[in-house]
C-alpha cells in the first residue's frame, strides 16, 4: 500500500508518525516536499517514509492521497496536479466540502473527509470520518477510534469542537496557577490536574451509555463540594461562553446547497 501526503503540517506529521509506530504493515508513505524540514526529518526517522521531489510524484506513486493543506492554499496547490480515476482521496481540510474537493481532484471520485488531531501520534484519538470506504477506515483504525458520520453537517459540528483544544488547556493552566498559589509544587499540581481530567474522561468513555448530565449528577453529593461548584459556575454563565464560541466557529463552515 502506497499512501501519499500533500502538505506536511502538524496534523499530517502526527498522522505519519502515528502510522509508522502502529501495527499497520506493508505501507510506504510518500511525502510532499512542502515543509522541507519536517518532511526530511520524517524520512530520516522512518525507513518506510520517502520524501518525493514534487507533489505530482507523490500522486503518481500512491494509491491513497491524504490532503493536509490549509484551506486558502488547497485550490492553488491542487489545481495544477493530475489525478487518476482510481485514486482514493482523503481530505483533512476543514472548510472545503466534499463537492469542492471532487472538483479539484477530478477525475478521482473516491473522496473521504476525516478529522484526525495531534493525539493520533499516540494512537488515542476519536476520528470522525465521512464518505470513507473500508480501506480508509482500516488506516484510521491504526491511529485511534474512527467515528462514521452520515453527512457533512454532522462532520462540521464535530469539527467545530476541535476549536476548544486551546480553551481546554487554558482551563487547565488557570487551575494550575490557582493550585500553585495555594503552595502546591507546580510539577505536582500539573501532574494531578492532567491525570484528574484524564481519569474523568476515561470514566465517561467507558460508561454505557455515555450521559454527561448523569455523570455530573452522580458526582454532586447534596451540600457537597461538587454541587456547590457546579451551581456557582452555572450561575456565572461560564458554560454559555463555550456554546457561543462554537456557534461562531460553525459559521465558518460552508453550508450545503
Instruction: Note whether residue 158 is domain-resident.
Output: no
Taking only the tens place, the pLDDT of each residue in 4-21 is 999 999 999 999 999 999
* 176, pLDDT greater than 90: yes
Which CATH number goes with the domain that contains 209? Answer: 1.10.3730
| Same structural domain, 193 and 112 | no
Instruction: Note whether residue 97 is domain-resident.
Output: yes
Which CATH number goes with the domain that contains 56? Answer: 3.40.50.720
Q: Which of 149, 172, 193 is the last residue of a domain?
A: 149
Q: What is the mean pLDDT of residues 42-51?
A: 97
Which band of pLDDT confidence, cut at 50, 70 and 90, is reported for residue 255?
Answer: confident
| Same structural domain, 212 and 108 | no
| Same structural domain, 145 and 172 | no
What pLDDT, on the 0 to 100 scale, is given for residue 34? 81
| Same structural domain, 245 and 200 | yes
| Same structural domain, 6 and 122 | yes
Which band of pLDDT confidence, cut at 50, 70 and 90, is reported for residue 156?
Answer: very high
Instruction: Note whether residue 255 is domain-resident.
Output: no
Cα-based distances in Å from 222 to 10, 204, 212, 244, 254:
45, 21, 18, 30, 45
* 49, pLDDT greater than 80: yes
| Same structural domain, 117 and 208 | no
Whole-number average pLDDT of the chain: 96
| Same structural domain, 114 and 205 | no
| Same structural domain, 113 and 144 | yes
In the chain, the percentage of residues whose pLDDT exceeds 90 is: 96
| Same structural domain, 22 and 124 | yes
Task: Tell me which residue range forms the domain holding 244.
Answer: 163-250
Strands 49-51 and 145-148: unpaired
| Same structural domain, 199 and 174 | yes
Cα-based distances in Å from 79 to 73, 75, 109, 251:
10, 6, 15, 26
Cβ burial, residue 225 (10 Å; 0-12/13-18/19+): exposed
Q: What is the mean pLDDT of residues 166-173?
A: 97
Alpha-carbon gap, residue 138 to 81, rounded angstroms:
27
Instruction: Note whether residue 106 is domain-resident.
Output: yes
Cell 468513555 sits on residue: 205
Q: Which of 91, 114, 149 is the last residue of a domain?
A: 149
Number of domains in the chain: 2
| Same structural domain, 131 and 205 | no
Q: What is the mean pLDDT of residues 66-93?
A: 95
What pLDDT, on the 0 to 100 scale, is given for residue 257? 62
| Same structural domain, 34 and 118 | yes
* 73, pLDDT greater than 70: yes
Q: Which of 126, 149, 172 is the last residue of a domain?
A: 149
The pTM of the full predicted model, rounded to 2 decimals, is: 0.92
For residue 254, the cross-strand partners are: none
Residue 220, SS3 per DSSP: coil
Instruction: Note whether residue 154 is domain-resident.
Output: no
Amino acid at each position: 500500500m502506497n499512501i501519499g501526503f500533500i502538505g506536511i503540517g502538524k496534523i499530517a506529521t502526527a498522522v505519519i508518525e502515528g502510522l509508522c509506530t502502529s501495527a499497520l504493515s506493508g505501507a510506504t508513505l510518500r511525502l510532499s516536499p512542502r515543509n522541507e524540514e519536517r518532511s526530511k526529518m520524517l524520512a530520516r526517522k522512518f525507513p518506510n517514509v520517502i520524501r518525493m521531489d514534487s507533489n505530482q510524484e507523490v500522486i503518481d506513486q500512491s494509491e491513497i492521497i491524504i490532503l493536509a493543506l490549509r484551506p486558502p492554499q488547497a485550490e492553488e496547490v491542487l489545481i495544477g496536479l493530475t489525478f487518476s480515476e482510481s485514486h482514493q482521496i482523503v481530505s483533512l481540510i476543514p472548510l472545503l466540502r466534499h463537492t469542492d474537493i471532487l472538483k479539484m481532484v477530478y477525475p478521482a471520485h473516491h473522496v473521504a473527509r476525516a478529522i484526525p488531531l495531534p493525539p493520533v501520534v499516540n494512537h488515542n484519538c476519536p476520528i470522525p470520518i465521512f464518505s470513507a470506504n473500508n480501506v480508509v477506515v482500516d488506516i484510521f483504525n491504526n491511529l485511534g477510534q474512527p467515528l462514521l458520520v452520515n453527512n457533512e453537517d454532522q462532520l462540521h459540528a464535530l469539527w467545530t469542537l476541535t476549536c476548544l483544544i486551546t480553551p481546554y488547556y487554558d482551563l487547565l493552566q488557570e487551575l494550575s496557577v490557582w493550585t500553585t498559589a495555594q503552595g502546591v509544587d507546580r510539577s505536582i499540581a500539573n501532574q494531578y490536574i492532567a491525570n484528574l481530567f484524564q481519569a474523568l474522561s476515561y470514566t465517561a468513555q467507558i460508561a454505557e451509555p455515555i450521559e454527561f448530565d448523569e455523570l455530573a449528577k452522580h458526582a454532586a453529593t447534596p451540600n457537597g463540594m461538587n454541587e456547590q461548584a457546579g451551581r456557582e459556575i452555572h450561575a456565572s454563565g461560564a458554560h454559555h461562553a463555550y456554546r457561543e464560541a462554537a456557534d461562531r466557529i460553525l459559521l465558518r463552515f460552508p453550508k450545503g446547497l
